[in-house]
Structure 1
């Protein structure tokens, strides 16, 4: 009998890639998508749950024995306030990690960011650092935090800053080797493959991982 996957953030850059992997995988019989709106995915494995993420605890039974993937993330512009940004990027992933631990989830994988640090002077990195701290504290025995550098791929919305950053990193990629390789831009598909592969592996423990293309 195949496994069950729970995924939040299926419409995001990495989430879309991960959904495809999970649907095509012979490892999973069921893929549960948590979303605030309909995603449009049509597949025999897919079961979509439209929910208010503030009420995640009402769906704790979905975490039982599941591989849980969290690809949630927003921007200040979309969230419209620092408080709402922190809710999406810190609170919801932390709650999911705790539910996975409490309900016997097989593993928990979440996307963070390179530079995540609790005492960072930058708000974005500080929130990501707080999320990592909470997830590592409360997540299940097998917990993976994935810290990609700048993500590349086709987003639903166009972001000037990220496009400029992508071009800069590409131009200087030849010097980003060895210990610096983690600073290279990385495709969304590569991050999705890293999360999927880690979930299938026999690795245990709580780890911070650096996906690369």
Structure 2
């Protein structure tokens, strides 16, 4: 059985990821983990909700069984418990300091929740982990946002997944649920680079391109234990 586990589903990239995973014939089930369920139904989609900060103590089996009408997910549960499933985990968790309210709360979401999800996914048997980071991710950066993203990348390496994909998109384009003034201005200024197909690694990239690249990378065969995927590479992979 092939299973995809997804966190950050309600976000910009997360929604596109879910769409790509549902379209893929490779995955038998998609387990979405979040604070709330989406108003969405699909034969492959299993949604469980709760406080992500206490994810490690969730009774995930009980939560899934509560959604398993007529025992529809019994095989799914058995495959995870028997460690017989191939599991790929995808994280697009992230926020901004403005939305979070403080640097401490931002760190709790962009670092702690991601690492907590990775630990949980590893315990369930995930062999591959694919994470949406940022173009400037650097654990030694003097820029707080880039430093947090870089620290998260470094801490993810410690789990020693069979494959770790670190996706570093430039400015993301798409339909966000919240208004971000700075990103709106930057997208207007930089959008000509998209139209003219210039500066591939720094020009804005669409949410669906990131999602397509993540799924394609998850399904690729590689002997590398981890890989950094640049914004330009994502655009090539999404063709």
**Higher radius of gyration, 1 or 2:** 2
Q: Distance in 2 between matches of 1:45 and 1:172?
A: 38
Q: Which residue of 2 aligns with 1:96?
A: 117
1:170-198, CA deviations, whole angstroms, 9 ceiling, x for partnerless residues?
A: 23555944xxx211110000000000001
When structure 1 is superposed on structure 2, of 91-100 and 45-54 the one drifting more is: 91-100
Per the alignment, residue 65 of structure 2 pairs with none
Cα RMSD (Å)? 2.0
Q: Structure 2 stretches of 5 or more lacking a match?
A: 62-76
Instruction: Note if contact 2:9-2:34 (Cα within 8 Å) is conserved in structure 1.
Output: yes
Aligned to 2:27: 28
**CA shift in 2, pair 1:129/1:48, >3 Å:** same
Tell me, which stretches of 5 or more residues in structure 1 are unaligned? Answer: none
Q: CA deviation at 1:53?
A: 1.1
Question: Is 1:208 aligned to residue 207 of structure 2?
Answer: no
How far apart, in 1, do the equivalents of 2:222 and 2:113 lie?
Answer: 25
How far apart, CA to CA, are the structure 1 residues paired with 2:166 and 2:135? 11
1:140 aligns with 2:139: no
**1:38 corresponds to:** 37
Q: How many angstroms apart in 2 are the aligned matches of 1:91 and 1:159?
A: 23
Number of the residue aligned with 1:183: 202
- Residue pairs, 1:45-194, within 5 angstroms: 45-59=44-58, 65-172=86-193, 176-177=198-199, 181-194=200-213
Preserved contact between residue 53 and residue 116 of structure 2 (Cα < 8 Å): no
How many residues align? The count is: 209
On the 8 A contact 1:9/1:70 being kept in 2, the answer is yes
Structure 1 stretch displaced more, 4-13 or 62-71: 62-71
Task: Give the TM-score normalised by structure 2.
Answer: 0.81
| Aligned-partner Cα distance in 2 for 1:89–1:15 | 14
